[in-house]
A = this chain, B = another copy of it.
Amino acid sequence: MKKIKVGVIGTGFIGPTHIEAIRRIGFAEVVAIAGNGQESTERKAAELGIPRAYGDYRDLLKDDEVEVVHNCTPNHLHFPINKEIVLAGKHVLSEKPLAMSSEESAELLALAKEHKVVHGVCFNYRQFPIVKQLASMIKKEQLGKVNLVHGSYLQDWMLYETDYNWRLAPEVGGKSRTVADIGSHWCDTVQYVIGKKIVEVFADLATVIPVRKKPSSTGETFGGQSPVDTAYEDIPINTEDYASVLVHFEDGTRGVFTVSQVSAGRKNRLSFEVNGSQQSAQWNQEEPEKLWIGHRDKPNEILMADPSLFADEAKSAIHHPGGHNEGWPDAMKNMMINFYSFIRDGKDPHSDETPFATFEDGHISMCITDAILRSHEQQKWISVESIKEVIL
């Protein structure tokens, strides 16, 4: 069996996560990685058991054996590298956000169509079995007509004023932080689940910690020891720690979501509740194996992920019998199964249904982020206008 040959750009946290997920599916193999500098990339390749290492990603793009490239770099490099991947005629799976602005994402989408490559964006929360099952239930109108959607995405990794990270710098992380980083996941997941697009937003953003303390270079940390006299530099912050956003969907469905990176005790709590005219459903990513289903006239239900209780079209997203819970890495695996099956079967993202988020979804996400920022500035409802042009 010939395996699909893959290259991965970026060797930080998320790159190896992609590599492991690809390995699980059996019909694709990572033949090369690209990092920053030849020596360190070779060390990483040896550690990960990857045959070839490139100190410059451009060399990976010239590797003829590589058919698919994963872009696992920091945010500000997504656009230029995605562009080069497409121009190199290779299929591409990009980390989100797709770009730094909706102009850039529009350009990438057009380019990808033109060059006829398969394009994906790593909106991985769609790939949880329970999320697929809920999308199927809603499509079949088991909840009745969806009327309301509300939820939040809460984290605590930026809680303290001494929490500092490259994402805080707008030139690297982008002009929106919390909305772009995690609000984008909430919107993508919810739009996927209810099968409707957000067309209008009203937003309230806040920078809860307006000045953060960045460890100065002079206060060095030795060998993992906790520094005794770290010196800090005060850095004014202008990206948001928090947002609450009222949303209207294309058919008038109402919703609201809150995102925060300063909510102590919440690690990665993406959650939402859908209220339909007959039933409700609620999901929380920190307990990904459960779906709460709400009823008026009978007891509420807790659906544990279990192939024997799932709809046919959601069953394939779960790989073990009930009670053998699959988690976050398994959703990544599902993403790879879906993305690589699509490539293997020679499908076209512009005519076939894509069981993964594409550059189109990545562009829609950018447009929503733009509208949210504008709404907060202008303190009024803003249309997510570009959606129309994309969909049509």
Of the stretches A64-72, A102-110, A168-176, A201-209, the one at the interface is A201-209
- The reply to whether B246 and A204 contact each other, CB–CB distance below 8 Å, is yes
Give the distance to chain B from A3, nearest Cβ to Cβ, in Å. Answer: 6
Check A148/B242 contact, CB under 8 A, given A1-B46, A264-B295, A303-B299: yes
CA distance A204 to B256 in the complex (A): 10
Set B204, B264, B328: member contacting A280, Cβ < 8 A: B264
Give the distance to chain B from A72, nearest Cβ to Cβ, in Å. Answer: 15
Q: Does A273 interact with chain B (Cβ within 8 Å)?
A: yes
- The reply to whether B280 and A263 contact each other, CB–CB distance below 8 Å, is yes
Tallying the copies of this chain within the complex gives 4
Set B148, B268, B295, B327: member contacting A262, Cβ < 8 A: B148
Of the stretches A152-160, A189-197, A212-220, the one at the interface is A152-160
Check A276/B264 contact, CB under 8 A, given A328-B324, A328-B325: yes
CA distance A197 to B35 in the complex (A): 49
CA distance A330 to B325 in the complex (A): 10
Cβ contacts under 8 Å, A23 to chain B? 23-24, 26
Set B17, B156, B302, B319: member contacting A302, Cβ < 8 A: B302
Check A264/B244 contact, CB under 8 A, given A160-B296, A208-B147, A381-B379: no
Hey, what's the 0/1 contact readout for A352-380 against B, CB within 8 Å counting as 1? 00000000000000000000000000011
Q: Does A254 interact with chain B (Cβ within 8 Å)?
A: yes
Of the stretches A76-84, A115-123, A231-239, A282-290, the one at the interface is A282-290
Hey, what's the 0/1 contact readout for A250-274 against B, CB within 8 Å counting as 1? 0000111010101111111100010
Cβ contacts under 8 Å, A27 to chain B? 49
Q: Does A97 interact with chain B (Cβ within 8 Å)?
A: no
- The reply to whether A328 and B322 contact each other, CB–CB distance below 8 Å, is no
- The reply to whether B287 and A287 contact each other, CB–CB distance below 8 Å, is yes
Check A309/B298 contact, CB under 8 A, given A208-B147, A267-B321, A323-B155: yes
Q: Does A52 interact with chain B (Cβ within 8 Å)?
A: no
Give the distance to chain B from A15, nearest Cβ to Cβ, in Å. Answer: 13
Q: Does A277 interact with chain B (Cβ within 8 Å)?
A: yes
Q: Does A20 interact with chain B (Cβ within 8 Å)?
A: yes
Q: Does A48 interact with chain B (Cβ within 8 Å)?
A: yes
Cβ contacts under 8 Å, A147 to chain B? 206, 208, 242, 262
Q: Does A304 interact with chain B (Cβ within 8 Å)?
A: yes
Kindly identify, within residues 273 to 319 of chain A, every residue whose CB is under 8 Å from any CB belonging to chain B.
273, 275-280, 285-289, 291-304, 306, 308-309, 319
CA distance A287 to B177 in the complex (A): 31
Give the distance to chain B from A11, nearest Cβ to Cβ, in Å. Answer: 13
CA distance A276 to B209 in the complex (A): 12
- The reply to whether A265 and B285 contact each other, CB–CB distance below 8 Å, is no
Cβ contacts under 8 Å, A298 to chain B? 301, 309
CA distance A202 to B204 in the complex (A): 9
Q: List 9 A-B contacts (CB under 8 A).
A: A202-B246, A242-B254, A263-B294, A264-B279, A264-B280, A267-B322, A301-B301, A326-B329, A327-B330
